[in-house]
Amino acid sequence: MSSVPSPGLAHLLSHAERRMGLRMAVVLAEEDCSVEQWRVLSVIADGKGHPMTEIADQVLMPAPSLTKLVDRMVADNLVYRRPDRADRRRVLLHLTARGRTLHQRAAHRLLTDQTRLLDAIDDHGDLVRLLARLTAALDQEPAEAPTEEPVEKILPVS
């Protein structure tokens, strides 16, 4: 038996997220699109127009960094800003025709790659379902200081 402790849940999730981000970057580079651009395009692809504060929350970026990214995306004719009709003080972000085309091509490439990846681990939707449940639980349950030694529950990785 190995004396090396098995990695904890946070480590495994961080490692998987980092590797997935790198994998996405390679796929998106074929469309000359960054992961950050992809995330913004995905949020606004519904055509409804979204305020920057909402986009920043969804793409996990600080507002100043998002503003710089969106400025570049506007210059590249991928997105445009338009005042909100309901509240003229708010500005909503929308896709341009060029941005919509990029989103569709990149979405197809990513779906193909992610399907290949999930097939390789013989997943039938369980991983996404479980991660969604974990995220929901983390959003609702505040972290508490442990009162005793934590018991590590790690499933074997095959």
| Mean pLDDT on 61-80 | 97
Mean pLDDT for the chain overall: 89
Query: What are the tens digits of pLDDT across the range 42-69?
Result: 999 999 999 999 999 999 999 999 999 9
3-state SS, residue 82? strand
pTM of the model: 0.79
pLDDT tens figures, 84-115: 988 888 999 999 999 999 999 999 999 999 99
SS in 3 state form for 122-144?
CCCCHHHHHHHHHHHHHHHCCCC
Going 92 to 98 to 101 to 106, the CA torsion angle's sign is negative
User: What pLDDT score does 64 carry?
Assistant: 95
Distance CA 156, CA 52 (A): 41
What does DSSP assign to residue 83? E
Backbone angles phi, psi at 47, to 5 degrees: 80, 5
Identify the pLDDT of residue 113.
96
pLDDT above 70: residue 158: no
Taking residue 55's Cβ as centre, other Cβ atoms within 10 Å add up to: 21
- Alpha-carbon separation of residue 31 from 12, 19, 66, 94, 109 (angstroms): 29, 19, 20, 20, 9
* Res 3 pLDDT > 70: no
CB 44 within 8 A of CB 79: yes
Distances 91 to 3, 66, 79, 84 between C-alpha atoms, Å = 56, 14, 12, 6
Q: Is 95 helix (H, G, I), strand (E, B) or coil?
A: strand
